C-alpha cells in the first residue's frame, strides 16, 4: 500500500468519527465505537488471515463492546490498534479467550491469553506440541533442572487437594523440549505485580475463573524463552499487555505501556447523584476529581 492510500484509510476513519459526532450525538459524548467498527470492517478484513471471516470477526468485536460498556470510554486509536493487531495475529476475542480488550482510563490494553499463545505456537514449524498443567497437593510431582532435566507428574485419584504448582512443556520438532514450573504463590505475586492497575486487578486476572489459564500463560512464557521465536510470536511478545494506537493496518503503531498513574474511579455529581462518564471531563479534571481534590 502506498503512503497516499494509507493516509486515505486514516482519513476515512477520522471522517467516520467526525460524522458520528455530528449525527445527533451530544457534543461532549464520545463517538460510538460500534459504528466505527462497522465503518472500518474493510480495514479489519485486510488485517485478518484469509481463513478468518471478517463479518464474523466484526460481530465478535461488537459483542465485546456490548458486554463491556467501559470500552466505549476509550480512545478510538487504542481501540482500533488493539483490534487490528489481534486481527493480524489471527486471534479472537470473546468465547475463544485468545485475546482480551482491557479498558484502563481512556486507553485499551491488548492482552493475549494462554489459548492465543497456544494458537500462535501451533502454527510454528519449530514446535511439535505445547501443554500446560495444574498440580494439586495430593498429586505425585517431581522436577529438576540442570544437566539432566526431568519432570514427573502423576495426578492423584479421588480428592487431589488444592492447586500448588503450574507448569508448561514445549516439545520441539527436532526432539528437544523445554519446561518451566511456578508455585501458586509465585503466580500470585506475578499477578499482583503485573495484573493490578490503581490497586485493583484488571482484565482476565480480575476474573477468578481465569486464574488458571492466566497461570498457564505466565509459566508458558517462561518456558518459551528457551525455544526459537517466529516473527509472528515476536510481534505478539512486543504487543502483549501494551497499548497500541493506530487507525489503519499499514500505519506504524504507537506502542506504549499502560499509564500506572491513571486513576480508576466513579465520579458522582454531588447535586444530582448522577455518575459522570469519563468522556464528560478532560483528562486533568478526571484525575483531579477522582482523587477528591
**Which pLDDT tens digit goes with each residue over 202-247?**
889 999 999 999 999 999 999 998 777 788 888 999 999 999 999 9
Rounded (10°) angle between helices 76-88 and 231-239:
160
pLDDT above 50: residue 270: no
- Cα separation, 38 vs 20, whole angstroms: 12
- Cα separation, 77 vs 66, whole angstroms: 19
- Cα separation, 134 vs 164, whole angstroms: 8
Q: How confident is the model at residue 280 (pLDDT cuts 50, 70, 90)?
A: very low
**Distance from chain centroid for Cα 127:** 23
Own/partner contacts of 148-151, CB < 8 Å, gap of 24 or more, are 149/179, 151/179, 151/181
> Which range, 14-18, 107-111, 120-124, is most confident?
107-111
Tell me the percentage of the chain whose pLDDT exceeds 90. Answer: 55
- Cα separation, 245 vs 101, whole angstroms: 13
Is residue 108 within 8 Å of 79, Cβ to Cβ? yes
List CB contacts of 50: < 8 A, sequence separation 6 or more.
Answer: none
Partner residues linked to 159 by β-bridges: none
Q: What is the mean pLDDT of residues 20-29?
A: 41
Q: What are phi and psi of 292, to 5 degrees?
A: 75, 25
Q: What is the mean pLDDT of residues 20-31?
A: 42
Q: How confident is the model at residue 175 (pLDDT cuts 50, 70, 90)?
A: confident
pTM over 0.95: no
For position 56, what pLDDT does the model report? 93
pLDDT above 60: residue 181: yes
Number of residues assigned to the chain: 293
- Cα separation, 262 vs 265, whole angstroms: 10
Give the pLDDT confidence of 142-172 residue by residue, as tens digits: 999 998 899 999 999 999 999 999 999 999 9
Pairing of strands 163-172, 150-154: unpaired
Q: What is the mean pLDDT of residues 90-115?
A: 93
Amino acid at each position: 500500500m502506498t503512503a497516499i492510500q494509507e493516509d486515505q484509510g486514516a482519513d476515512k476513519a477520522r471522517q467516520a468519527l467526525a460524522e458520528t459526532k455530528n449525527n445527533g450525538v451530544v457534543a461532549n459524548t464520545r463517538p460510538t465505537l460500534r459504528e466505527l467498527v462497522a465503518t472500518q470492517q474493510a480495514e479489519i478484513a485486510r488485517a485478518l488471515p484469509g481463513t478468518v471471516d471478517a463479518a464474523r470477526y466484526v460481530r465478535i468485536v461488537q459483542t465485546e463492546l456490548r458486554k463491556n460498556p467501559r470500552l466505549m470510554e476509550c480512545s478510538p486509536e487504542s481501540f482500533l490498534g488493539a483490534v487490528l493487531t489481534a486481527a493480524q495475529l489471527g486471534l479472537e476475542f470473546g468465547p475463544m479467550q485468545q485475546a482480551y480488550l482491557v479498558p484502563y482510563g481512556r486507553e485499551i490494553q491488548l492482552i493475549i491469553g494462554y489459548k492465543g499463545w497456544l494458537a500462535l505456537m501451533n502454527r510454528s514449524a519449530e514446535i511439535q506440541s505445547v501443554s500446560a498443567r495444574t498440580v494439586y497437593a495430593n498429586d505425585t510431582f517431581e522436577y529438576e533442572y540442570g544437566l539432566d532435566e526431568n519432570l514427573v507428574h502423576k495426578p492423584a485419584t479421588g480428592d487431589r487437594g488444592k492447586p500448588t504448582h503450574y507448569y508448561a512443556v514445549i516439545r520441539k520438532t527436532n526432539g528437544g523440549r523445554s519446561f518451566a514450573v511456578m508455585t501458586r504463590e509465585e503466580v500470585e505475586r506475578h499477578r499482583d505485580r503485573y495484573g493490578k492497575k490503581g490497586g485493583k486487578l484488571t482484565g482476565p486476572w480480575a476474573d477468578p475463573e481465569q486464574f488458571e489459564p492466566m497461570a498457564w500463560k505466565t509459566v508458558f512464557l517462561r518456558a518459551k524463552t528457551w525455544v526459537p521465536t517466529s516473527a509472528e510470536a515476536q510481534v505478539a511478545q512486543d504487543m502483549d499487555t501494551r497499548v497500541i494506537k493506530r487507525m489503519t493496518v499499514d500505519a506504524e503503531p504507537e506502542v506504549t505501556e499502560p499509564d500506572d498513574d491513571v486513576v480508576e474511579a466513579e465520579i458522582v455529581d454531588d447535586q444530582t447523584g448522577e455518575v459522570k462518564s469519563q468522556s464528560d471531563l478532560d483528562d486533568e479534571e478526571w484525575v483531579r476529581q477522582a482523587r477528591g481534590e
